[in-house]
Amino acid sequence: MPRPSWDEYFIKIAFDVAERSTCLRRKVGVILVKNKRILATGYNGAPSGLRHCEELGCLRAQKNVPSGQRHELCRGLHAEMNAFLQAAVHGVSTQDSMLYSTTYPCSLCSKMIINAGVKRVVEAGDYPDDLGHMHLTSTLIECSNLRHVRLSFWRWLGVEHPDYDKATIKVSIDGVDWPVIWRNPDEITDNQWVYQELDISDIVDNRSVVYLRWTMGPTDSGWTYCGWNIDDVRITGFEPVTLIGDVNGDCHVDIMDLAILLSNYGLTNATPIHGDLDGDGDVDLGDLSILLANYGRVCPEY
């Protein structure tokens, strides 16, 4: 038998922790890990000292509350909540820790995971059928001084054909509008971690507010797949280099810059992105002369 990886090792422990759960609907186990050492564990169930649902029955089942909705109609705490509370009671910092769970976190626990400083989540659960939309959204990302921005990450994705189930990646610069930058083109059944890199420069270059969102759903009531699993998310880009004549900021003074300048020729109250290279507020012969004098130059990194 091959030796288990660290992820496999800790997920197995999370399943052992779940056996302590007294929830009648789903037993969930969570462990918090840092530097390959377990910081805290948690499983879902009633608060300490109170009677369990095994004795009183399930309030949510009695009221026919669907999974993932009306969290306040539950006597228990989620496994993630109990793990964070255990760490807090014993004075253990969760900053830069990893969380292993037997299922996907709900929206409430996802927010706690972010504020607790967890840097990575590994979960073993599938997404439910008849799912609406479930999102994993990043905190605010600052890209105001970056150009040619790219998003890269490792994925382990399982999703049915888009006619039935949808997996998407979205980006927002205001938290309101969420244009889709990637969607599953077909059925995807990853059996290993797959590297993915996306060019998001058209949307986020030089933006001070950027959010990323991985979305699962909507799905149908057919087959069940594992959904999104993501790791090592990175945003990369170039800090701007001052290059005289580079109107569009691509680190080349070329025909594209000349085209922008000429299209704005004669414009007043102009800025450098319009072709005002001498800073006098007009796009005129002086700016054209500057551009032509620097035509063909490139930034050092090119």
State pLDDT tens for residues 181-196: 999 999 999 999 999 9
CB 196 within 8 A of CB 153: yes
Which candidate, 298, 237, 287, 243, places its Cα nearest to that of 263?
287
- State which H helix or E strand residue 203 sits in: helix 201-204
Catalytic residue positions, numbered? 80
181 or 70: which carries more pLDDT confidence? 181
pLDDT digits (tens, 9 = 90+) for 113-142: 989 999 888 888 655 545 557 788 888 899
Return the pLDDT at 9: 93
Which candidate, 182, 197, 204, 210, places its Cα nearest to that of 152?
197
Beta-carbon contacts of 289 under 8 Å, excluding residues fewer than 6 positions away, are none
The two structure tokens encoding residue 84: 């964070």
Which of 49-58, 83-92, 225-234 is least confident? 49-58
In angstroms, the CA 284 to CA 267 distance is: 8
Q: What mean pLDDT comes out for the span 147-154?
A: 92
CA distance from start to end of the chain: 50
| Inter-CA distances, 233 with 22, 174, 212, 238, Å | 35, 20, 10, 17
Up-side HSE of residue 143: CA atoms within 13 Å toward CB?
28
Which DSSP category does 196 fall into?
A: E
Q: Rg of the chain over CA atoms, in angstroms?
A: 25
Instruction: Provide, rounded to the nearest whole percent, the portion of the chain with pLDDT above 70.
Output: 91
In angstroms, the CA 196 to CA 186 distance is: 16
Whether this prediction's pTM lies above 0.75 is answered by: no
Q: Does the pLDDT value for residue 300 go beyond 90?
A: no
CB 14 within 8 A of CB 102: yes
Return the pLDDT at 25: 76
Q: Tell me the pairing of strands 194-199 and 141-143.
A: unpaired
In angstroms, the CA 43 to CA 133 distance is: 25
Up-side HSE of residue 59: CA atoms within 13 Å toward CB?
12
Beta-carbon contacts of 123 under 8 Å, excluding residues fewer than 6 positions away, are 100, 101, 102, 103, 104, 105, 229
Q: Does the pLDDT value for residue 59 go beyond 80?
A: no
- Name the average pLDDT for the chain: 87
Partners of 151 in beta bridges? 198, 235
Return the pLDDT at 302: 44
Which of 39-53, 122-136, 201-215 is least confident? 122-136
Which candidate, 6, 229, 231, places its Cα nearest to that of 125?
229
CB 142 within 8 A of CB 121: no
Which of 11-15, 44-48, 65-69, 82-86 is least confident? 65-69
